[in-house]
Amino acid sequence: MNADAVLFDLDGTLADTAPDLGAAVNRLLAERGRPAVALDQLRPHTSSGVRGMLLAAFDIRPGELDYDALSERFLELYEQNLCVDTRLFDDIDDLLSSLERRSIKWGIVTNKRARFTDPLIAALDLHHRACCVISGDSAPRPKPAPDPLLLACEVSGIEPARCIYVGDDLRDIQSGRAAGMLTVAAAYGYLGLDSPVSDWAADHIIDSPADLIRLLGL
């Protein structure tokens, strides 16, 4: 695997954000007089963002009565505590350092909105290291469209064919393939419930960030 840059999804790939997202939705449940939901039950829905968390906690979908109000309040609660228990996954810092030592650029492409992405990346002390940080509202269309990944290449000065995209959701793989990148599915992430990772047609599947270090020969 030769590449000039490695791009990463954020939630479930680079960082374990589920504890803080879960805490926000449980605070919302408490406000509505409902019992909390265990983090293990919420975790698979995390990569689907607000839609996934509200579905898991309230069994409600976009367009249904009260969804917009719940969504707005959930985001308010999450924004207040973006990086309390969020941590980089094990071996991620070693992976990023290995890329940097080999002068391989790395960046972040997420569907998370910039109002959450930017302060979170700063809190994780990654803002000065990434070659780009592309959020869900940075490009005309979010993933699974290729737009955010193509924008990342434009910003970073890298050809898509020389990039690897790593993600833990089917949309990540679809977006990477549409952009003409080599794709890697992070099986240690949240994965969702729609289809098994083996059906995503990713070029590679890794069980830990350390697997990518080995794949890249770092």
Catalytic residues: 9, 11
Task: Using alpha carbons only, give the angle 52, 125, 7 rounded to the nearest 5 degrees.
Answer: 60
Bridge-based pairing of strands 15-16 and 133-134 is unpaired
In DSSP notation, 92-149 reads HHHHHHHHHHTT-EEEEE-SS-HHHHHHHHHHTT-TTT-S-EE-TTTSSS-TTSSHHH
Residue with tokens 């833990």: 168
